[in-house]
Amino acid sequence: MALWAIIALCVVGLANAAYFTLIYYGVLGPSPLVPSVLCRTEERSCMTVVKTPYARVFWLPNSLYGLFFYLFIGGVAWLTLRGWAAPLTKLLALGLTGLAVLFGFYLVYALLVKLKTPCPLCFLGHAINLMLFLLWLYEIASD
């Protein structure tokens, strides 16, 4: 059951990361599909958050890394369901989700303290990463 939850969370995380990546590269503006309460305050929006230095690590947007992260984590969960994943691969998934959680603490600090921009869609990504970490921890512990 945990593996299906991991896959479902990766699908949501992938959609969230894709949205931010498309905004970052100017392919999308504010989307009518995303309620304004999730992405806008009076003076800031998703577009202003993704243009800050906190939205990039090693010159690429964090959300672009997120696309690959969610594909990999979801792929490992799928391979595990099929019985094709090596134990080391599951430990790698646990480690990567743990790093994502630690990095998320820094990004939440940056959003709330430095930028003073509570971003619900950003928080969604960080919450997904925390849940993925806990689910992988549970999956590995229950083996």
CATH 3.40.50.1820 fits 2-141, yes or no: no
pLDDT value for 36? 60
Q: Whats the size of the chain, residue-wise?
A: 143
pLDDT value for 121? 85
Say which residues have a Cβ less than 8 Å from residue 98's Cβ, sequence separation at least 6: 133
pLDDT value for 34? 65
* Site of tokens 């577009």: 47
Going from N- to C-terminal start, the domains of the chain cover 2-141
pLDDT along the chain (143 residues), means of 10: 96 94 81 60 63 85 96 98 93 97 93 81 94 97 87
Which is it for strands 60-61 and 56-57: parallel, antiparallel or unpaired? antiparallel
Four-point Cα dihedral 44, 38, 31, 122, nearest 10: 80
